[in-house]
Structures are given as C-alpha cells and as structure tokens.
Amino acid sequence: MGKVSIIGAGNVGGTVAAAVAHFNIASDVVLIDIKEGVAEGKAIDMMQSAQHYQFNSRVKGYTNDYSAVAESDVIVITSGIPRKPGMTREELIGVNAGIVKSVMDNCMKYAPEAYFIIVSNPMDTMTYLAVKNSKLPKNRVFGMGGALDSSRFVYYLREELGCAASDINAMVIGGHGDTTMIPLISKATYKAQPVCELLSKEKQEEIVKATMVGGATLTKYLGTSAWYAPGASVAAMVKSILLDEKKVFPTCTYLEGEYGQNDICIGVPAVIGKGGVEKIIDINLNEEEKALFAASAEAVNKTNNVLREMKLV
C-alpha cells in the first residue's frame, strides 16, 4: 500500500483524504493545510471513524509542514481561493497560480518521484502551469476535471433512465468549465445500448445542458463548490494509480498532437495506472464534437495566455 498526500484540507481536500482512507488503498494519508489545526483536526476525526469504516490507513494532518509528504506516491493539490466579488478572472488566475506553483515547488523538494493530480481552479490552466513549471514528464502531472464532469453526466442520465449508475457508460471531454466541457451524448450507453436510442433529442439536450452547469447548480444550492463528487472522483483516480487498475478516465492531460492540439492541458480519455497517464485514448469524434473540442481548446488557451502574459510559464 502506498502513501497519498493531499494539499489543502478544505471541503474537497478533506473528502479526498476520507475517500482514500475508506478505499483502504494507502498505508498513509497525509493532509496539509495553511490554516493552523484544520488538517490535524480533520485527520483525527477521520481516524476516529476507522473502526466503523474498517480501514487501516493512517491519516495525519499538518500545518504547512511539507516534509510530511516525503515518499508520497501520489500528491493531490486542491489549494487555491474561489473567485471573490469584484475579482477579475485574471486576478484569480494570478493568485491561484502563485499558490499552485509554491505548493508544487515545496512538494517536489520532498517527493520528487510523486505523481501529481491537480484540482485547483481554473483546473486546466493550473494543470498546464504545474506541467510547465515542474518540468516533470507529462504522465506524472494531470488534472481531475473530466472525471468529475463525467460523474455528473452519469447522474443526470441515471435519473432519467431510472437505473444504476454502474449500468451507464458516459464521458465528458474538453475544458473543465460550464461553456468548455463536452458531454459526449452520442457515445453514452446504458447496458451497451446507445442512450440516443432511448431518449428523445430534446431530453438528450436537456441532460447535456444540465451536466454543463452541474457545478454551478450545486454552488447555487450550497453557496459554495461541491465536495463529495469531486473528492470521490480524485480518490478513484488515486486508486487506479496505486492498484494499477488501468481504468480509463477523462483526464486533463498535456497534449502533443493528440486530438489536433499541442501545448495544452485539456480533458481527454486516458488510461490511468501505476505509470500515471499511461496512454491517451483516441476516440472517434463526429464533426460536431471535433468542432466543439477545437472551440474548447481555444477557450482554454485564452486562459493559458494570462499565465504567459504574466510570465508565469
């Protein structure tokens, strides 16, 4: 069993730690936060649930002690701030870029062989920043977004079809944003049957739209970003690495010609195993999907240009 470290003990980071512990796939789970006592308290709380969840992982929390990540197999970065009233997107990118770069630098001092999963927003651009600044091989630094968006896609499909989530195969590619993600309704299946044969065109469009604003819908209800599904999505990716499951996840990964794109991190299906992103899967997109993916990449590149203009990459 390996070691997993999560940087940022907020709602998402704490849920990642708990989910990894519940999966019982890591001998050690480390939680680090900038705020005194938060990681320590959450770690103790999780450990006091071990008897009921029957896990053997040791969860420990630390305040800004990056030496605790030493020998980590996987490091998850959730650090960053949400956009505040009056803050421009450029300002948000600048602040979070500084945070993610600092976290990566500190982690690499103690765990240079780790695999990094980026969750911090804007996720595609923060993943790009992490890849560029760390100079690590692209298979070792990737983002979570598509795995979460796909889980939301599955949710809306199962609600309409009235079936188990495990009976649905559905995927979201492209950027991790309300206007940049691409739910591949044409590829979605229920027990191997195309859902396009089961749902009207209007219902398909409704589900696609609901998926694309899935995060915003929850923020409206909760007053903040969601955490259960993001945490579970990250933990599933961690599990695939530690157990070498070689599962396919829509993953924000660095492209070098795949899907007609270069020098960008964006969501595409990839095999995740003990080698991190082991293979990018080339799926056959129709003409509409190809156009949507190109537009999504263009939007992500515009955000990446903010990093370039600020000379952060």
Q: Which two tokens stand for residue 70?
A: 């030493």
| Same-domain check for residues 181 and 277 | yes
CATH code assigned at 74: 3.40.50.720
Closest CA relative to residue 76, chosen from 127, 122, 24: 127
Q: 267-283 pLDDT, tens per residue?
A: 999 999 999 999 999 99
CATH code assigned at 212: 3.90.110.10
Closest CA relative to residue 15, chosen from 238, 181, 172: 238
Average pLDDT over the chain, rounded to an integer: 95
Q: Of 3, 42, 176, 187, which one is the catalytic site residue? A: 176
| Structural domains in the chain (count) | 2
Global pTM? 0.96
| Same-domain check for residues 302 and 157 | yes
- Ranges of beta strands (E only) in the chain are 2-7, 26-33, 58-63, 74-77, 115-118, 141-143, 168-169, 172-174, 181-183, 189-190, 193-194, 247-256, 262-273, 276-280
Domain range for 244 is: 146-309
| Same-domain check for residues 220 and 79 | no
Note if 52 is an active site residue.
Answer: no
pLDDT at position 84? 66
Q: 174-205 pLDDT, tens per residue?
A: 999 889 999 999 999 999 999 999 999 999 99
| Same-domain check for residues 172 and 301 | yes
